Amino acid sequence: MANHAQLRATFHRDGVLHLPQWLEPAKVDEWERVLDDYITNTVPKLPRGDAFFEVAGDPATLKQMQRMERHDERFDALRRQDKYVRLAKLLFGGGAVSQGVAWFN
């Protein structure tokens, strides 16, 4: 992985980072299953404003989910994992505090 100064500079320049190998393939598979479960079982019960669709209520048109940590402990635990906290602090200068978990299609 690039050094910290390079990562910070790239993030501030581009607004995103590409971090190959950040998650091992088995972890990616696991999170895909978690997302599928969340979309299938939780999204239909969410309050208005926590999920957005191109066509209201049509799961095939889901485009955004917000405040996921409030509705599923797996996402609450994810946002507090040291790996992500350290990266956020590196990119934002040490004072990063997670405000929540969101998904964008």
Mean pLDDT of the 62-83 span: 95
pTM above 0.85, yes or no: no
- Output the pLDDT for position 93: 82
Mean pLDDT of the 25-40 span: 95
> What percentage of the chain exceeds 90 in pLDDT?
65
Strands laid side by side in the 103-104 sheet: 51-53, 62-65, 103-104
Q: Residue 58 above 90 pLDDT? A: no
Distances (CA, A) of 19 to 11, 24, 31, 34, 69: 11, 11, 17, 21, 23
Which residue, chain included where needed, has tokens 């040490």? 94
Q: Residue 25 above 70 pLDDT? A: yes
Could you give the residue ranges of the DSSP H alpha helices within 1-105? 4-14, 25-37, 68-71, 73-80, 82-92
Mean pLDDT of the 60-85 span: 94
